[in-house]
Amino acid sequence: MAVRRSFKFLLRPTRKQVVALTACLADHQQLYNAALEHRRTAYRKAGVTVRYGEQSAELKHIRADDPGGQGRWSFSSQQATLRRLDKAFGAFFARVKAGLVPGFPRFKGRGRFDTVEWPKDGDGCRWDSQPGHPAATYVRLQGIGQVRVHQHRRVLGTVKTISVKREGRRWYVILSCDDVPAQPLPATGVAVGIDMGVAWLVTTSDGEHVANQRHLATCADRLAAAQRELSRKERGSHRRRKAVARVAALHAKVRRQRLDGAHKAALALVRAYDVIVHEALQVATMTRRAAPKPDGEGGWLPNGAAAKSGLNKSILDAGWGVFLTILSHKAESAGRELIAVNPANTSRTCAHCRHCAAENRVTQAEFRCTACGHTVHADVNAAINIFRAGLALRDAAEAA
């Protein structure tokens, strides 16, 4: 069995290459914004919807007119940028159709455009472009040159797409690979149910807690404070620019912590269990929650504690989505079985006597059954119910 997987490595560009990488990113950003402007104007002035095909056909002229600028880069990476805009519009129209009121696709300002993708290895880019080099790995990027890669692990499978991403002052290359051989783990003979929570990312039906979310919540508090601070700064001021940088740095930190916690928790589960039952995420319920009001420039309108808890909650919620994605990749590669169950009533049903009542749940952490008096950690109780629901699903599927 083979799976798709991505590999991310730090780049070690020369000073000249940093200048070229920066220019490459800036030109792709300019292309994205110009194509967005084109679509908006056509729609406003003439009610016409411009499509990807038309914009892609224009690329030839744009490149010919600007050989020292847009003409320097790969045709394919520019097409990928236009496709990215097309995707943003596709998502926008899908949400309109669903009766939601989505924000119109936005212009990408400084620091909001950080990735260029080359959709095919060998087309404007080449992974491991100097395979004979005794000491280092290189990636060749059109218009930039041979950039040295800090390759800290082996790449498996076939390289499909190559992306370059800027994170703060660092540059990374991300390879998306197909046909990566799965690495099945030996069977353990044990199955488990997991509950995803606020204080702990995961609690198992065996009563174990995995990956503490308190770190993440602390960081989210600081992020909320930084965003309030940002909203008080005058537009275009030096202080505002500094505040924007601080918010971006905290966002990056939250992302790193979340990824790190999710990877560790997923790895521990996949190693220990053959079958993992989890609750299916209910995205609709999550988005119905009141959210903090954005001020339209990347900050948040002050609305006190509500904004804080809203942001905090949304960061933890987003963590569950990330965690489940990582868990499913690891489970697939390790040959483990994942079962998703409907989470309805799993947190209010007594795992001991099956009595179901909202009053059973005393606090966030404590479950005390009003019928039989059974007392247990609320997350463990939920995990046991999730586990049973998963086994019932599997039995039903086998019987059918």
> For binding to Zn ion (CB under 5 A), which residues are involved?
350, 352-353, 355, 369, 371-372, 374
Q: Which is nearer to Zn ion, 240 or 348 (CB)?
A: 348
Closest contact distance (angstroms) between CB of 206 and Zn ion is 20
Nearer to Zn ion, 201 or 369 (CB): 369
Question: For residue 64, which amino acid is it?
Answer: A
Residue 5's DSSP bridge partners are 177
Query: How many CA atoms lie less than 13 Å away from 39 in the CB half-sphere?
Result: 24
CB contact set of 117 (below 8 Å; sequence gap of 6+) = 77, 80, 81, 84, 161, 162, 163
Q: What is the closest distance, in whole angstroms, from the C-beta atom of residue 385 to Zn ion in the complex?
A: 12
Nearer to Zn ion, 19 or 372 (CB): 372
DSSP assignment of 345-370 equals: TTTTB-TTT--B-GGGB-SSSEEE-T
| Of 126, 115, 117, 113, residue with least CA distance to 77 | 117
Which neighbouring-strand residues pair with 354?
none
Q: Least distance from C-beta 360 to Zn ion, angstroms?
A: 7
Closest approach of Cβ 11 to Zn ion, in Å?
57
Smallest gap from Cβ 384 to Zn ion, in A, equals 12
User: Cβ of residue 372: shortest distance to Zn ion, in angstroms?
Assistant: 3
**Cα–Cα distance between 391 and 353 in angstroms, integer?**
18
Question: Which region holds residue 226: left if phi is over 0, alpha if psi is between -120 and 50, else beta?
Answer: alpha
Residue 386 CB, shortest distance to Zn ion, in Å, is 17
Please give the structure tokens belonging to residue 196.
């995803």
Query: Of 315 and 350, which has the nearer Cβ to Zn ion?
Result: 350
199 touches 213 (CB < 8 A): yes
The amino acid at residue 241 is: R
Q: Which is nearer to Zn ion, 176 or 346 (CB)?
A: 346
Measured from the CB atom, the residue of 226 and 350 that comes closer to Zn ion is: 350
CA 124 remoteness from chain centre: 27
Select 355 or 394, whichever has its Cβ closest to Zn ion: 355
CB of 359 to Zn ion, least distance (A): 12
Least distance in Å: CB of 361 to Zn ion? 12
User: Nearer Cβ to Zn ion, position 263 or 355?
Assistant: 355
For the beta carbon of residue 25, count every other beta carbon within 10 angstroms. Answer: 18
For Zn ion, the closer of residues 173 and 378 by Cβ is 378
Which SS3 state, helix, strand or coil, does residue 45 take? helix
Site of tokens 């019928």: 371
Please report how close the Cβ of residue 341 comes to Zn ion at its closest, in angstroms.
Answer: 20
Helix ranges (H only) for the chain are 15-46, 52-65, 75-97, 214-231, 238-272, 283-288, 304-334, 378-399
Q: Of 75, 71, 73, 54, which is closest to residue 63 (Cα–Cα)?
A: 71
Cα 330 to Cα 11, 68, 100, 151, distances in angstroms: 26, 45, 34, 21
**Complex with Zn ion: residue 112 or 354, whichever CB lies closer:** 354
